[in-house]
Amino acid sequence: MKRRRAIVMVLTLALVLTMALVGCTGTTGDSGNGTPAEEGFAPDATIGVALPWLGTQNWKEAETMFSDQLAAAGFNPIVQQADNKSANQLAQIEAMIEQGAKVIVVAPVDASQLGTVLDNAKEQGICIIGYDRLIENTTAIDGVVQYGSIETGRLQGEALLAGLATKGSAPYNIELFAGGPADPNAVNFFDGAMQVLQPKIDDGTLVVVSGQTDFATVATPDWENAKAQARMDTLLSGFYSNKEIAGVLAPNDGIARAIITACEQAGQPLPITSGLDAEDESITWIWQGKQYCTIDKPTLPLVDKTIEIIQSLQAGKGMPKPDSTTNNGKIDVNLYELTPTVVTKDNAKEVWANDPGRLALLK
């Protein structure tokens, strides 16, 4: 009898410890890796937001919007940026854990370097939401809120082709640029664009004069504009001394402006150039005819969707049903995807009809 009672006590203790450790329980959108606590948490709970940096307009907007809107929703926000340094972000997430965050929203500096710290967070019942970027090679993630990254790249490729058609007949001399290699979105943007561009390279419509077409070669470390401009300078001096460049696949607006600046300084005609993020300066350049297009991924709907998920967790309703899933190297991760939009001079006023700030730039 004593032995039986001891076994029961051991099993009961094990169950209690398991329940204490598992702060997230699968609901509608469960991907098998744990979702938020069924019992929810306090409406004034601490919510951590770990951003990579403030080097582009969209990240500055995210910092302000998360701080303001989480506070307005009644939460205690801790919003930090890591100056694009993984070590900084790891330390910031550890601090958020120590300060009792119930949810940590992470836009990774390096998507593959967060496994240990996020495992620690999950062991303490903290829910992890990726923001804008997939977090790779970890089971400690409940979902990712982002704009469709492959679709974003496809739109960039399609827009580049449409712009090149305004320059006369093919073939068109082009060059390819991609974003930071530590950002999984950068690979997806490039792959999506190449789904559109590679067939045109193969049939001779597009000519990559430098021959540089693989992601590793065309990637821009840390998304730094200066590095992109330096590479463009090298391409122009090495391959275009007696040729004109017609277009460039640019992964975001800052890099697009760096490429355009390099072409201007080299005496080249303005190339058709893609972009991303609808930054104010690039909107002005598009309206002036200097940059051909951008992809609009407005920050507010992304932040709104993330907070909507946090509120579902707080209420004990778990993760909403995802739009799709993707494998991060360890598990299939729930994706909550928004739709990006191509913006050119032709449709800018229509796209931003309800955005007075951006409409003011179109003059």
Query: What domain range includes position 212?
Result: 150-297+343-359
Share of the chain above pLDDT 70, in %: 90
Q: Within this chain, do residues 97 and 119 fall inside the same structural domain, yes or no?
A: yes
Residues 49 and 125 in one domain: yes
Residue 1 resides in a domain: no
85/222 Cα distance (integer angstroms): 10
* Same domain, residue pair 160 and 269: yes
Tell me the pLDDT tens digit for each residue of 260-283.
999 999 999 999 999 999 999 999
24 band by pLDDT with thresholds 50, 70 and 90: low
Within a domain: residue 178?
yes
Are 278 and 303 within one domain?
A: no
Q: Does 51 share its domain with 77?
A: yes
Q: Are residues 157 and 52 in the same domain?
A: no
Q: Is the CB of residue 93 less than 8 Å from the CB of residue 131?
A: no
In a domain, 23, yes or no: yes
Specify whether 219 is located in the same domain as 320: no
Structural domain tally of the chain?
A: 2
Three-class DSSP category at 175: strand
Rg (C-alpha) for the chain, rounded Å, is: 23
323: domain CATH number is 3.40.50.2300
Token reading at 55: 């080097």
Same domain, yes or no: 194 and 121: no
Is residue 333 one of the residues assigned to a domain?
yes
Q: Where are the beta strands (DSSP E) in the chain?
A: 46-51, 76-81, 103-106, 127-131, 143-147, 172-176, 206-208, 247-249, 272-273, 293-296, 324-327, 332-338, 341-344
pTM of the model: 0.86
Q: pLDDT digits over 131-190, tens only?
A: 999 999 999 999 999 999 999 999 999 999 999 999 999 999 999 999 999 999 999 999
